[in-house]
Amino acid sequence: MKRLCVFCGSALGVRAEYGEATRAVAAELAHRRLGLVYGGGSAGLMGVLADTELRLVDSMHERKATMAVLVDGFVALPGGLGTLEETLEILTWSQLGIHRKPVGILNTAGYYDSLLLPRPLALRRHAFRAARPPALLATSGHPARLAVAVADVTAPRSTAGSGVGVRRPRARGALIPWT
């Protein structure tokens, strides 16, 4: 693994833990000598990460596609609707077989608790089921553990069925297929 895409908010959020977690993720990526690709904003949590090369694109879709090509995995930090949309789209791309890269969610202060239910409530309540699970969804409330969980996976050869090709992380953190 050489680079991770980080989705995060263009605002700092109401909890100091969000900024602290973002700085910890940046430090962990630097420690592991992993490159960082993110949305390019200079405000909020994105601003905490801001010290990278800038590539200008014409649309949000082109931005997400460009980021996806440049990276070996994805990490979602707390953020607003844009962060949630990017995270869900990359999970959808995994489900559709567009990519086979790990997706990590840093669940700082329980931010993503409702998303990390065994299956989100809307899917359970209305009997929708994913045809294929995303390659891998790794979760942790601790930045270093999440980095280990995301960096220590092997992409599955196929996303068909329930087979998810992974090596278990050496640190604590949940690895869960989205079913």
* The total number of structural domains that make up the chain: 1
First to last CA, the chain: 25
Question: For residues 155 and 137, what is the distance between their CA atoms, to the nearest angstrom?
Answer: 11
Q: For residue 74, is pLDDT > 90? A: yes
Can you tell me the distance from the alpha carbon of 166 to that of 164, in angstroms, rounded to the nearest whole number? Answer: 6
Give the 3-state secondary structure of residue 147. helix
Strands 137-140 and 174-176: antiparallel
- Could you tell me whether strands 137-140 and 103-106 are parallel, antiparallel, or unpaired per DSSP bridges? parallel
What distance in Å separates the CA atoms of residue 167 and residue 160, rounded to the nearest whole number?
18
- Does the global pTM surpass 0.85? no
In degrees and rounded to multiples of 5, residue 27 shows phi and psi of -65, -40
Sign for the CA dihedral angle at 86, 90, 95, 97 comes to: positive
Evaluate if residue 178 carries a pLDDT over 70.
no
Q: What is the pLDDT at residue 78?
A: 92
Mean pLDDT of 121-140: 62
Backbone angles phi, psi at 110, to 5 degrees: 75, 20
Range of the domain at 118: 3-176
Q: pLDDT (tens digit, 9 = 90+) per residue, 96-109?
A: 888 889 999 999 99
Mean residue pLDDT across the chain: 75
- CATH number, domain at 106? 3.40.50.450
Return all residues near 73 (Cβ < 8 A) that are at least 6 apart: 1, 4, 5, 101, 102, 103, 104, 150, 151, 153
